[in-house]
């Protein structure tokens, strides 16, 4: 099986030994504590689940700047986005060497992890601007990732962590949330060698379904990992439980049996375009996948990134930095001329009118009003699940 990123073996920071975990929980109650922001909590979950292998905890300021500037840590590890624990309030942890990290996303703010404090550093406005510009490619506060990143806090708390649980993800998504080592174990049990990963924060329409099938056939893969983000999104995105139900229905009805793993991971969306696409590749390599589908405007938002920037960034990465391969995809849509879903680049004789292509706004309007989506665009069973959600949302807003 493909090796994890930067390591011979996976390095999940979750404490699997129940007795040790219980002892750490008792210790945590006596430690100074820090309430994490949602992004830092998501980083802890990803560290615990092995997706951030080989990191051992949160980065310091020098590593964050180096990653932003060069996509490498100070010691030369290839990494595209800083993994940080930031806050504005250090009063309770100023002199602490070991602290309890509390979860902002669960009632009662329970302990999520314990951190050994290597350093507490203040990030200057100039440094924050430099990092933000490099990672997101913009300083526009209308960009949801920029708005979040710029307000996470002026202090950087670095150091190794031990993770005690996976926040709300295991409880809310017991059939879907999986750690990187759990996915590796499932891939191994199935005897798969070549595995294509598909990243999604949205429900999957016909074009996404066919794209997975095209990629699987193109690389002669044994199976497909549909890997959905389960964490925080921007306003207007469809909740994870609705996406999960829609994707599972599509796989059940329209994919050959035992060719797809439907799973999810506990991370907040960054909307960082090219940099986030590279991070997605590391996640999937750590989960045992050999290929990642990178489509048009992968991990983008609005018009902040060019349509293929997320693919082009991989052309600039030295070959030895990543073992996973990228399947570069164009926009995929149903061709009225050919009566099938195609990549638009493979149909140069087509005009826009030859494709069944709906804007996100138009899809939401149709679903909210009870209009069926064209069968060329969405499977009816999937559209029904989405329609029920949008109509309930419409009713709630009117009410």
- Residue 237 DSSP label: S
Locate tokens 């030994």: which residue?
17
Domain ranges of the chain: 18-167, 174-265+273-398
Please name the fold of domain 18-167: Sulfate adenylyltransferase (3.10.400)
Q: CB of 64 within 8 A of CB of 82?
A: yes
Report the predicted TM-score, pTM, of the whole model to 2 decimal places. Answer: 0.93
- For the segment 67-93, the average pLDDT, to the nearest whole number, is 97
pLDDT tens profile 308-359:
999 999 999 998 999 999 999 988 888 998 999 898 888 999 998 889 887 7
How confident is the model over 238-247, as pLDDT tens digits?
Answer: 888 899 999 9
Identify whether the C-beta of residue 344 lies closer than 8 Å to the C-beta of residue 308: no
Please give the DSSP secondary-structure letter assigned to residue 3: P
Q: Say if residues 340 and 361 touch (Cβ distance below 8 Å).
A: no
pLDDT at position 395, please? 45
145 touches 85 (CB < 8 A): no
List 98, 202, 331, 364, catalytic entry: 202
Cα–Cα–Cα angle for 207, 213, 214, nearest 5°? 85
Known catalytic residue at 201: yes
Q: Which residue in the list 98, 130, 201, 364 is annotated as catalytic?
A: 201
Architecture of domain 174-265+273-398: 3-Layer(aba) Sandwich (3.40)
Distance (Å, rounded) from C-alpha 387 to C-alpha 207? 18
- With vertex at residue 123, the alpha carbon angle to CA 120 and CA 126, rounded to the nearest 5 degrees, is 165
In the chain, beta strands by DSSP E? 33-35, 57-58, 86-87, 98-102, 111-116, 119-122, 155-163, 195-200, 223-229, 260-265, 291-294, 325-328, 332-335, 340-343, 355-356
| Residue 130 is a catalytic residue | no
Report the distance separating Cα 11 and Cα 1, nearest Å: 16
């Amino acid at each position: 099986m493909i090796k994890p990123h930067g390591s011979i073996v996976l390095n999940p920071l979750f404490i699997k030994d129940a007795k040790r975990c219980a002892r750490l929980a008792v210790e945590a109650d006596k430690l100074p504590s820090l309430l994490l922001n949602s992004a830092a909590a998501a980083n802890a979950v990803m560290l615990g689940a092995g997706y951030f292998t080989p990191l051992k905890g949160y980065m310091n300021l020098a590593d964050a700047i180096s990653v932003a500037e060069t996509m490498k840590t100070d010691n030369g590890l290839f990494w595209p986005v800083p993994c940080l624990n930031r806050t504005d309030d250090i009063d309770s942890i100023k002199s602490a060497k070991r602290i309890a990290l509390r979860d902002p996303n669960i009632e009662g703010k329970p302990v999520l992890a314990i951190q050994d404090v290597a350093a507490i550093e203040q990030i200057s406005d100039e440094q924050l601007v430099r990092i933000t510009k490099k990672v997101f490619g913009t300083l526009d506060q209308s960009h949801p990732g920029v708005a979040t990143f710029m307000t996470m806090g002026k202090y950087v708390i670095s150091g190794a962590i031990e993770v005690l649980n996976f926040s709300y993800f295991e409880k809310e998504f017991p059939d879907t949330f999986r750690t990187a080592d759990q996915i590796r174990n499932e891939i191994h049990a199935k005897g798969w060698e070549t595995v294509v990963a598909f990243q999604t924060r949205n429900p999957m329409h016909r074009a996404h379904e066919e794209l997975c099938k095209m990629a699987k056939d193109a690389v002669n893969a044994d199976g497909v990992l549909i890997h959905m983000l389960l964490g925080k999104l921007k306003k207007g995105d469809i909740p994870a439980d609705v996406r999960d139900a829609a994707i599972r229905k599509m796989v059940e009805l329209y994919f050959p049996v035992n060719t797809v793993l439907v799973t999810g991971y506990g991370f907040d969306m960054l909307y960082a375009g090219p940099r986030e696409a590279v991070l997605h590749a590391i996640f999937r390599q750590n989960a045992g996948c050999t290929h990642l589908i990178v489509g048009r405007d992968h991990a983008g938002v609005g018009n902040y990134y060019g349509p293929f920037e997320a693919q082009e960034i991989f052309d600039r990465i030295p070959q030895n930095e990543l073992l996973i391969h990228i399947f570069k995809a164009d926009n995929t849509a149903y061709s009225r001329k050919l009566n099938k879903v195609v990549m638009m680049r493979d149909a140069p004789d087509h005009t826009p009118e030859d494709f069944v292509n709906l804007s996100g706004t138009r899809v939401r309007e149709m679903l909210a009003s009870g209009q069926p989506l064209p069968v060329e665009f969405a499977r009816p069973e999937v559209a029904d699940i989405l329609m029920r959600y949008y109509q309930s949302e419409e009713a709630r807003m009117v009410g």
